[in-house]
Amino acid sequence: MKFSRIGNKFSSNIGIVELMNELGKALSENKDMIMMGGGNPSHIPEVQKYLRQSMQSLLDSDREFETMLGDYDGPKGNLRFRKALAKLLNDSYDWGINENNIALTSGSQSAFFSLFNIFGGSDENGKVKKILFPLTPEYIGYGDSSIEDDVFTSRKAKIEHIDQHTFKYHVDFDALDIDDSIAAICVSRPTNPTGNVITDDEIIQLEEIARKNDIPLIIDNAYGAPFPGIIFTDIESRWNDSLIMCLSLSKLGMPGTRTGIVIANEKVISTLASMNSVMSLAPGSFGAELALDLVESQNIIKLSQEVIQPYYYEKARRAIKLLHQHLKEDISWHIHKAEGAMFLWLWFENLPITSQELYERLKDKNVLVVSGHHFFPGLDEKDWPHQHECIRMTYSSESTQVEAGIKIIADEINALYS
Ligand SMILES: Cc1ncc(COP(=O)(O)O)c(C=O)c1O
């Protein structure tokens, strides 16, 4: 059996697939493993209660359950949900959008695959147009989401030291040389893996660059406002015709429904809808139906602000406190300022081994983290040592597990630097 070039690409080593397999294998081989590597949202009882009630009222309704299961939605996804979401976003942020500015997708992961291939790849003249990540570290899941090769390019971050053990990444605008090979700019905000929130000022500058070059700025808001609201800084939520905003119901606690949301101008939305049709006829109805009441009542904002945000904020604060408690003061370790998402990004300056070796050593001690080198999609400068000095740890699991894991990480680091 012979595969096409694209078939071969997907049958070979794909970064995110390898990583997920590796994490899954490590967990299944060792039930005592402390999981600080994944991106699964916490099971927050209050959120689960709400979702269970929504499911119950769907089941109790005369027709809604049967309609949800028995009818295809249109290629843009559930109309009532899109109308309610447009109203919620207009009420909250005055974006001036309507349901035709919104398309649902099977998780936001598939939205990125569609968007990157709508903009990136060969143009009519055969020139390969690229997607630019202006600040790496960036989400690993973007890395293989293109049909053609060499579609991604990225720049390394500028580092601001906030205090002895806290730092923050910024876009290095001096290194952001845009020419007509760039088809779109993309950032996750809050960022997976770092918990960074690119500042309003940086977003405005990126927007200006995008507008000047007649290309879109794609903002991946999988963790941001208005939902799930895992964001600890005050930011302006902007949208305009040249901005493509992606949201997701996953980190709210519904990854199993695979519901991604894209907000963009009508041309982008109808192209995405066509891709939905070709790939799956229509996006699934389940997530939209289950969250419909939350969106129509706008209680999704309250749930995000009053339950989800404080839950993750407290977990982040506690994990940082434990790291300060257990890591030796005089070692040059740094935590990225925790501004959102569900990860802490640790940088061990002049680490005597690579972060991959550190990952292996921690795995041998029953702690699973992710080596930072995975999070530099499209970066040519392979010699940036920083790429091999960082790890991502998730703090969303059980507090006792997080505490035990941090203790093991700190013991290993303290020993390595002694
Ligand atoms: C930054 C970011 N974007 C997008 C996704 C994809 O999420 P989903 O496809 O579940 O919406 C994730 C998942 O972890 C993520 O971390």
Which of 187, 227, 251, 345 is the pocket-test mutation for ligand 1 (most atoms within 8 Å of CB)? 251
Other beta carbons less than 10 A from residue 210's beta carbon: 21
Contact (CB, 8 A) for 104 and 261: yes
Nearest-atom number in ligand 1 for the CA of 39 is 14
For ligand 1, atom 2, the nearest C-alpha belongs to 222
What is residue 341's predicted lDDT score, i.e. its pLDDT? 97
SS3 content of the chain, % helix, strand, coil (to 5): 45, 20, 35
Give residue 220 CA to ligand 1 midpoint distance, Å: 8
Cβ-proximal residues to 291 (8 Å cutoff; 6+ apart), any chain = 54, 81, 249, 252, 254, 259, 300
Give residue 124 CA to ligand 1 midpoint distance, Å: 31
Determine the longest span between alpha carbons in the chain, in angstroms: 68
Domain with CATH 3.90.1150.10 in the chain: 14-46+303-417
Contact (CB, 8 A) for 143 and 112: no
Nearest-atom number in ligand 1 for the CA of 110 is 9
Pairwise CA distance, residues 104 & 95, whole Å: 18
Which of 220, 227, 259, 374 is the pocket-test mutation for ligand 1 (most atoms within 8 Å of CB)? 220
Cβ-proximal residues to 373 (8 Å cutoff; 6+ apart), any chain = 354, 355, 356, 387, 388, 390
Other beta carbons less than 10 A from residue 393's beta carbon: 24
User: What is the tens place of the pLDDT at every residue in 110-129?
Assistant: 999 999 999 999 999 999 99
User: What is the tens place of the pLDDT at every residue in 245-259?
Assistant: 999 999 999 999 999
Task: Give the confidence band of 406 by pLDDT, cuts at 50, 70, 90.
Answer: very high
Reference 407, options 320, 327, 329; nearest CA is 327
Contact (CB, 8 A) for 122 and 128: yes
Pairwise CA distance, residues 194 & 203, whole Å: 17
Which of 196, 221, 248, 396 is the pocket-test mutation for ligand 1 (most atoms within 8 Å of CB)? 248
Nearest-atom number in ligand 1 for the CA of 220 is 3
Give residue 250 CA to ligand 1 midpoint distance, Å: 7
Give residue 58 CA to ligand 1 midpoint distance, Å: 27
Give residue 178 CA to ligand 1 midpoint distance, Å: 27
For ligand 1, atom 6, the nearest C-alpha belongs to 109
What is residue 10's predicted lDDT score, i.e. its pLDDT? 85
Domain with CATH 3.40.640.10 in the chain: 72-298
Which of 109, 136, 197, 252 is the pocket-test mutation for ligand 1 (most atoms within 8 Å of CB)? 109
Length of the chain: 418
What is residue 237's predicted lDDT score, i.e. its pLDDT? 92
Query: What is the H or E stretch that residue 260 is in?
Result: strand 259-263
Pairwise CA distance, residues 417 & 334, whole Å: 14
For ligand 1, atom 3, the nearest C-alpha belongs to 222
Give residue 109 CA to ligand 1 midpoint distance, Å: 6
Mean pLDDT of all residues in the chain? 95
For ligand 1, atom 14, the nearest C-alpha belongs to 39
Nearest-atom number in ligand 1 for the CA of 341 is 16
pLDDT for 18 beyond 80: no
Give residue 394 CA to ligand 1 midpoint distance, Å: 14
CATH topology of domain 72-298: Aspartate Aminotransferase; domain 2 (3.40.640)
User: What is the tens place of the pLDDT at every residue in 350-391?
Assistant: 999 999 999 999 999 999 999 999 999 999 777 799 999 999
Q: Is the pTM value of this prediction over 0.85?
A: yes
pLDDT for 42 beyond 80: yes
Pairwise CA distance, residues 150 & 128, whole Å: 8
Nearest-atom number in ligand 1 for the CA of 251 is 10
What is residue 38's predicted lDDT score, i.e. its pLDDT? 84
Pairwise CA distance, residues 304 & 268, whole Å: 28
User: What is the tens place of the pLDDT at every residue in 70-93?
Assistant: 999 999 999 999 999 999 999 999
Pairwise CA distance, residues 334 & 290, whole Å: 41
What residue ranges line ligand 1, CB within 6 angstroms? 39, 107-109, 139, 141, 188, 192, 220, 222, 248, 250, 255, 260
Task: Give the confidence band of 16 by pLDDT, cuts at 50, 70, 90.
Answer: confident
Pairwise CA distance, residues 346 & 364, whole Å: 19
CATH number, span 14-46+303-417 = 3.90.1150.10
What is residue 375's predicted lDDT score, i.e. its pLDDT? 95
